[in-house]
Structure 1
Amino acid sequence: MNDVSPLSVASPAPSSSSRLQLLVLSNGHGEDVIAIRILQALQQQSNPPDIFALPLVGEGHAYQQLNVPVIGSVRTLPSGGFIYMDGRQLAKDVRGGLLQLTLSQIKAVRRWVKSQKKQGNRKAILAVGDIVPLLFAKFSGANYAFVGTAKSEYYVRDESGLLPRKNKGAKWENFSGSIYHPWERWLMSRRHCRAVFPRDSLTTEILKKWPIPAFNLGNPMMDGLSPSFPTQRFYSGDIQQQEIARPLIVTLLPGSRAPEAYNNWETITVAVSALLASFRERDSVFNTSGTIIFLGAIAPSLDCNTLTKTLTIQGWRSQSELPIQLSDPNALTFKQKNAYFILTQQAYNDCLHLGDFAIAMAGTATEQFVGLGKPAIAISGQGPQYNPGFAEAQSRLLGPSLILVDQPSKVAKEVQSLFQNPDRLQIIADNGLLRMGQPGAAQRIAECLQSRL
């Protein structure tokens, strides 16, 4: 929770008055990553802007990889950015200095804008996240663009209309005809707002009902996910036999933040055990070989020793041979009868592409997996991120691609139902691509920013 001074990185070269000065505001680790992808694409443009950043949540370490200077103080607060899901988290953040940090950051943005104006530079702000960076951008006085990562019309509707909701307070989410409330749309329709990039086509379509410069260019979350192996498949005469012979691969997504991810891992391994127990007749159900591989996509920030203790207790035994090819020479492999368990902290993209389905208790990773056209079975956790409220909202966001269960023991039944219904799998494949979009969004957004700002 300590204040961190601006990151000690090299400043951009002195700029001329014709070179745009761009300040990026983001409010969360996931938002930082999305911002970085857009900035990387911007830097590849002709006459790219000079870039500065101010992460409003967390310490913004992602910006170091692009050598982007941070203009103000940053701080990691107790909630980790999840104050919207739990009022207690907000209270902790307030006690941890949230108000003082916010005031400091507002002053930093104003100083930056004033400094650029004094030097006669063209200036603009890119806000990534939700209403908080959007507010900062509006009241800076500079031109700005907004990448809306937090809201989607899919939370309240799909292409057929409004979703049925049991919660009486749900009408509040869409009371004005959009998931974005009137005050948010007001911020997006101001003269200085030059571009808005919603996360999907449905949200863009709704926002265009108002005078908002909304562009449907895709979701940067789906960029940078190429695996280490070629994804092109060539059909041959023995394709059906190849499909039968291959193992079933299950991707496990426990999340990235400790200690929550460790608790999620305990829950996921219970689901794994129940799934293995149900596979006595799996040859007829899944039409594949008797081998099953569980791929644990583990964040580099987590301690694998903590995770492997759980596996050892459950009867998994370490072995040196990898049953499949992964781009991680340090992957840990375990075996139990005809099942393998692999933990990797370096082959995240491979885990997404190899999995037939996922057992998930994560935010961004679950959405990316679904975006590849695959089903994810999610288990409600205790939070602070992946709690029942978040999981239920994510199930609305991702529609039929996310199957939500309240107990890990129920995962096996859902898996059997999935693989007995190929039509449902096709619906899930189409739905994931529709809701998450095609790769290349960061490049398309960068090109639009160059022209609009």
Structure 2
Amino acid sequence: MSKLLRSYLRYARGEKKTSPWALLYPLQFITRMWMKLRINLYARGLLSVTEPPLPVVSIGNNSLGGTNKTPMTELVVRQFQEAGIDAGLVSRGYRTKEHGPIWIGQDEESTRRETAGDEPLMLARRLPGVKIVVSRDRVQGVTLLASLGAKVAVTDDTFQHRRMARDVDIVLVDATCPFGNGNVIPAGSMREPKSAFSRADILVITKANQADPEQLAYTRAELEKLLDPQKIFTAEIRMESWLEIRGREERIIPADDRPVGSFLAFSAIGSPAGFYRFLEKEGISVKAHRTFRDHHIFTANDIEKLVELAVSLNVDGFICTEKDLINLPSELDLDIPIYIPRIVVSLDDDLGFRTKIMEKLKPNLMVASNGYGEDAIGVVLAKKMKKRFSSAEVSAFAFVGSGTHYRKEGFRVLSPSIEMPSGGVIKYSIFEFIKDLRHGLGSSITSQMSALSSLYSRYRTPVCVGDVYLLASMLWGQGMKPVLVATAKSVHLSGHLSVEQFLLRHRSRFVWTRDSETAEELRAGGVNAEFCGNPVMDLIDKERPEVDVWKGMEGARVLLLPGSRPRTYDDVKLILDAAKELSRRKECCFVMVPAPMIDVGKLVDNLEGWMSTAENSMLVSEGTRVRIYIGEVADAAVKADLLIGLGGTANQLCAGLGVPVVSILEKGKLIQKKLLKEAEVLVKADPLELAAAAEKILTDPDLRNRMRDAGIRNLGGTGALDHVVEYCASALGWDNRCKVYEKYRSFIEKRSGSGSTAEKEL
């Protein structure tokens, strides 16, 4: 190591208070600004975060120099092995000629230092049989690891690698030099400001037995200002054994049988001072030491100079680290023996450490939707996800309303309530938009985005049900590329704008469309899109027991849907009066299904000229009786002859079931008409007009059959949501994540139940 570099490192680590290197102090603010900008770009989705196909346990640090990442990586892998879980490793491979991904052991070339790097090869020696991949692109590395059969990926030095999502962020802090001189590179040894430690899921203070008690207490106190104390652990370096190399012969010596005599120590590691302190504590007599730059590859000339020095000092042997052993010439054959301490780390609370990993491995899944109809689809999807991924926590984020659909099914709603006069976030009318703005639309959206940001990195790939606006919002709040069930856009309406296609192409994992033509349009634009059925039709629960909603009722069965938006309380009178007029013209029976978020008591109280029976189960006016059914729309639609409806998604569902639809002329319904086509008739918002249109359909079997066939044809079949769940299970690896979590949890419970508190030694 050059004197210049040694001088810089002494200043950066705080060993030297005054130095010409202090002139670098202002430059650290460039680093600080860049790191903050970079983190925000990933957090807002402007730079994409990708979920790899395996659970990822990241082991990293926030400083230059060694923090015992390699032995800690080994410890975590062995902990998974002990639980019966096949864990593999992904490393960047410092100073290698290959970008990867390569698997150490795939061929002879992969075992060379120049190809794989020193630390991966060292771990390969320490962990025989463990799959180790070297790749500068960590996501590709984890993908290769998954193809090799690994169930968990432990990644080295990835705390700052924001492009890859991770399940557990373990951050290491060197107890002997926790924060350097307190500055960020190039003015100090820290990669990011001290506040970055707050991102850690688990923080381990390493080399605790090498630090002074006062220094260790100070380090812990500083970190507890940033992190929950229960997330902070300490680790000590322990001797496992010695490796002795004489000529070309190697043998393992027990830890207690330490080498006797005087020695020349040399090292090319991140924290050489820590290595020399360790030797001193172990009682090794070191006459002199030579330090090289981290990851230095020793040349024949280096070895020659070391031998000359050893002879002049009359030492009994060399001592170096296991990493240095990898960097020595392969044909090395010395008369002077080399001793390598084989170290392990032990934790102050091994069971607590494992428990924290287990807690973070639990899959947290999120379904997001931005509309009342989308909420209904989201609930079906969430139920399918919960059934498939039973050990996962499935939550919901409703961008419109208060998430009533989700709450009624027992799902946790993560979003604040947002109720607008228009019933949505961005609607068709500029006047409705202005009303929403006056009602606090801006502050509501701000609160939604704030809530999303607070959930950053806590959830897996978001599963969105809605439109590109929803996808962009999830990106801005979560950073990770979502998958999208596109329920709103279709080529039969207006297709996707260029900017929407750009977002879908670059910032979505996969898109499921509501029709094949839209999927073709998106694929032509480079989007991963597929049509696997209309998600609207998945609102039909085929496993749900059949409910005879129309039991005991006679006449043509007319279904009434008053809608799901706040205006429903005013609009309900329109369709009820239409029903009353229709009953004068033809013998009919009526069932009305209020949306889940509608207060039935409030709905009934607003009705002039109608009386309700006990428990609001029936409405009566001038001999017309309307049964109120609290349940799924599909329950009533399967046997209905006609729908008079003001809904959106619910109208589409009924049309897809072959029920002719009568609705009102307004902008939203005109757009919906492009989807339903001849399956729907639109008339003025007048009871007489609605009744006349309904009568015509009910008395004309040919018209009714044409409308029925058109609805079934235009809306498509079921099965889209099953494909979404299957994609998440396989491509995103959620099946495996759940199995890993369940297996690790079972292991922890057994270990905890046995009352074992002993430290786990490697």
Corresponding position of 1:129: 466
C-alpha contact (below 8 Å) 1:217/1:445 kept by paired residues: no
Equivalent residues in 2 for 1:233-252, closer than 5 Å: 247-252=555-560
Partner residue of 1:302 out of 600, 618, 635: 600
Distance 1:296 1:87 in 2: 31
Partner residue of 1:254 out of 545, 551, 562: 562
| 357-366 vs 51-60, greater mean Cα deviation | 51-60
Equivalent residues in 2 for 1:346-425, closer than 5 Å: 346=631, 348-380=633-665, 388-406=666-684, 407-419=686-698, 421-425=700-704
Equivalent residues in 2 for 1:203-242, closer than 5 Å: 203-225=518-540, 229=546
TM-superposed deviation, 1:69:
4.4
SS at match of 1:445: helix
TM-superposed deviation, 1:230:
7.2
Corresponding position of 1:182: 498
TM-superposed deviation, 1:372:
0.8
Report the CA distance shift for 1:31/1:347 in structure 2 as closer, same or farther (over 3 A): closer
Report the CA distance shift for 1:357/1:63 in structure 2 as closer, same or farther (over 3 A): closer
Report the CA distance shift for 1:401/1:86 in structure 2 as closer, same or farther (over 3 A): same
C-alpha contact (below 8 Å) 1:82/1:89 kept by paired residues: no
Distance 2:357 2:403 in 1: 23
Q: Could you list the runs of 5+ residues in structure 1 that have no partner in the other structure?
A: 1-12, 117-121, 156-172, 174-178, 232-244, 280-290, 313-317, 321-328, 381-387
Distance 2:626 2:417 in 1: 39
C-alpha contact (below 8 Å) 2:486/2:514 kept by paired residues: yes
Distance 2:625 2:498 in 1: 52
C-alpha contact (below 8 Å) 2:560/2:575 kept by paired residues: yes
Report the CA distance shift for 1:31/1:230 in structure 2 as closer, same or farther (over 3 A): closer
Equivalent residues in 2 for 1:12-51, closer than 5 Å: 20-46=363-389, 49-51=392-394
SS at match of 2:644: strand
Report the CA distance shift for 1:306/1:418 in structure 2 as closer, same or farther (over 3 A): same
Aligned pair 1:88/2:431, yes or no? yes
SS at match of 2:455: helix
TM-superposed deviation, 1:357:
0.6
Corresponding position of 2:709: 430
Distance 2:580 2:413 in 1: 46
SS at match of 2:600: coil
SS at match of 1:127: strand
Report the CA distance shift for 1:249/1:335 in structure 2 as closer, same or farther (over 3 A): farther
Amino acid at match of 1:305: V
Distance 2:643 2:415 in 1: 39
C-alpha contact (below 8 Å) 1:42/1:447 kept by paired residues: no
Report the CA distance shift for 1:332/1:146 in structure 2 as closer, same or farther (over 3 A): same
Distance 1:333 1:33 in 2: 26
Corresponding position of 1:119: none
TM-score, normalised relative to structure 2:
0.43
C-alpha contact (below 8 Å) 2:425/2:441 kept by paired residues: no
C-alpha contact (below 8 Å) 2:486/2:511 kept by paired residues: yes
TM-superposed deviation, 1:88:
3.0
Corresponding position of 1:292: 588
| 409-418 vs 399-408, greater mean Cα deviation | 409-418
Higher RCO (C-alpha 8 Å, min separation 6): 1
Report the CA distance shift for 1:225/1:330 in structure 2 as closer, same or farther (over 3 A): farther
Aligned pair 1:195/2:510, yes or no? yes
TM-superposed deviation, 1:213:
1.3
Q: C-alpha offsets along residues 63-106 of structure 1, whole Å, 9 cap, x if unaligned?
A: 33565445554433443315412223323333444334434443
TM-superposed deviation, 1:37:
1.4
Q: Could you list the runs of 5+ residues in structure 2 that have no partner in the other structure?
A: 1-355, 733-762
TM-superposed deviation, 1:145:
0.4
Q: Larger radius of gyration, structure 1 or 2?
A: 2
Report the CA distance shift for 1:15/1:105 in structure 2 as closer, same or farther (over 3 A): farther
Q: C-alpha offsets along residues 251-302 of structure 1, whole Å, 9 cap, x if unaligned?
A: 12222344x22432322233234434434xxxxxxxxxxx421222234523
Tell me the C-alpha RMSD between the 2 structures.
Answer: 3.4
Distance 2:613 2:368 in 1: 46
Report the CA distance shift for 1:53/1:14 in structure 2 as closer, same or farther (over 3 A): farther
Q: C-alpha offsets along residues 184-230 of structure 1, whole Å, 9 cap, x if unaligned?
A: 1111111x522101123332232222211112122333334458647
TM-superposed deviation, 1:150:
1.8
Corresponding position of 1:4: none
Q: Percent identity?
A: 27
Distance 1:319 1:99 in 2: 42
Aligned pair 1:144/2:451, yes or no? no
Report the CA distance shift for 1:335/1:90 in structure 2 as closer, same or farther (over 3 A): closer
Report the CA distance shift for 1:54/1:415 in structure 2 as closer, same or farther (over 3 A): closer
TM-superposed deviation, 1:417:
3.7
Distance 1:72 1:345 in 2: 25
